């Protein structure tokens, strides 16, 4: 009898895990947990399943020689209109592919290279030291905060990374806080509307989905610069 009672207690304790869809409050809505795409983490935000993070093991893909042709990074940086004194954060900086290109343009400014993976940050630090680059600062980000000072940024760049954030609502709140009143977020994501873009579905985003999530964070779309081969170049500002 005691064994039966103990079993019933365990069932009652763990029952919420198996009741289907669970919801957890966030600053801007709900996270939902349910089974989804094999490339996702089973966690949803505003109707979008969050994708698995690309680990540091995929670093070589970030620095692939054909990346310029596939993504036209040169045009992306022109879209950003980087000034010599700009202070910019590359959120999810990876191996620093964009960081060091921006550092040359913001030669009297500062580039924050923010990433959550120590292995990525070590590579950026090594490249920074080798090149004796003074205007790059490496920042260890958190799952819910980019760990940057309030009102400190002119521009924020996120390239093919936002869709992987485990806590997008909290991260966007953190970015908005760090952004100056006239600052801009450059959200670069593979076009979810375009089936010809050869990227897994969960690693793409539609403009409509991005606008919805940014609106919940108090941001509005200033423009979507449609001049990259596979990606949206969406510019958001404070609403």
CB 145 within 8 A of CB 171: yes
pLDDT one-digit tens code per residue, 113-157: 999 999 999 999 999 999 999 999 999 999 999 999 999 999 999
What is the pLDDT at residue 10?
30
pTM for the model stands at: 0.88
CATH code assigned at 121: 3.40.50.150
- 33 lies in some domain: no
202 vs 29: which has the higher pLDDT: 202
Statement: residue 85 has pLDDT above 80: yes
Statement: residue 22 has pLDDT above 90: no
CB 85: neighbour CB atoms within 10 A?
11
Domain total for the chain? 1
Statement: residue 176 has pLDDT above 80: yes
Q: Which structural domain, as residue segments, surrounds residue 98?
A: 52-238
- 18 lies in some domain: no
- 87 lies in some domain: yes
Q: Exposed e or buried b for every residue in 127-165, given b needs 16+ CB within 10 A?
A: bbeeeebebbbbbebeebbbebeeeebbbbbbbbbbbbb
């Amino acid at each position: 009898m005691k064994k039966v009672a103990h079993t019933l207690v365990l069932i009652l304790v763990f029952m919420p895990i198996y009741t289907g869809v669970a919801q957890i409050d966030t600053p801007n809505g709900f996270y939902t947990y349910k089974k989804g795409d094999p490339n996702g983490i089973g966690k949803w935000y505003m109707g979008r399943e969050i994708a698995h993070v690309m680990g540091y093991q995929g670093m070589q893909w970030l620095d692939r020689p054909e990346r310029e042709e596939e993504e036209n990074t040169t045009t992306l940086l022109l879209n950003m209109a980087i000034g010599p004194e700009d202070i910019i954060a590359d959120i999810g900086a990876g191996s620093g592919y964009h960081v060091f290109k921006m550092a040359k343009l913001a030669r009297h400014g500062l580039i924050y290279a923010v990433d959550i993976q120590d292995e990525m940050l070590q590579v950026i630090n090594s490249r920074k030291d080798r090149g004796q680059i003074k205007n790059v600062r490496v920042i260890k980000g958190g799952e819910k905060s980019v760990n940057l000072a309030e009102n400190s940024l002119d521009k924020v760049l996120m390239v093919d990374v936002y869709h992987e954030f485990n806590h997008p609502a909290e991260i966007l709140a953190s970015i908005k806080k760090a952004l100056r009143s006239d600052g801009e977020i450059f959200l670069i994501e593979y076009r979810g509307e375009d089936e010809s873009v050869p990227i897994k579905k969960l690693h793409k985003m539609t403009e409509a989905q991005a606008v919805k999530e940014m609106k919940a964070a108090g941001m509005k779309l200033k423009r979507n610069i449609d001049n990259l081969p596979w990606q949206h170049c969406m510019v958001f500002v404070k609403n």
